[in-house]
Structure 1
């Protein structure tokens, strides 16, 4: 009896959940329902906030929530 060779690869949960959020258009849907005014100082949309809360709530982000704006800015520049 021969054993099959099994190959596994780790797909980070963060990427899967983030991709699902993006593919579902969750951020755009939330932004349409709850618009924010950048004129009043909003730096992150409501949809982005909810996405961050989902990822943080699921424990995929090992970062304090108050640091998220810094991380988002760094990710956009990268």
Structure 2
């Protein structure tokens, strides 16, 4: 299992599940949010496995206040 610090430099510019959890958000509800905003199950699995570039996440979800919290957290970590 990777630690929080393993994600820092090599994955700067990406949002990962740990950013969602760091904002005290549930991954089950995040999955539902992604589905409601047009992501497929395969895209959601890819995000959970590999993360997503911050720019893409902002493009898709930047209008949402909770998503903005996750974006800010990822940028702080980057």
User: Which of the five TM-score ranges fits, normalised by the shorter chain?
Assistant: under 0.3
TM-score by length of 1: 0.27
Higher strand residue share: 2
The higher relative CO (CA closer than 8 Å, separation ≥ 6) is in 2
Rg bigger for which structure?
1
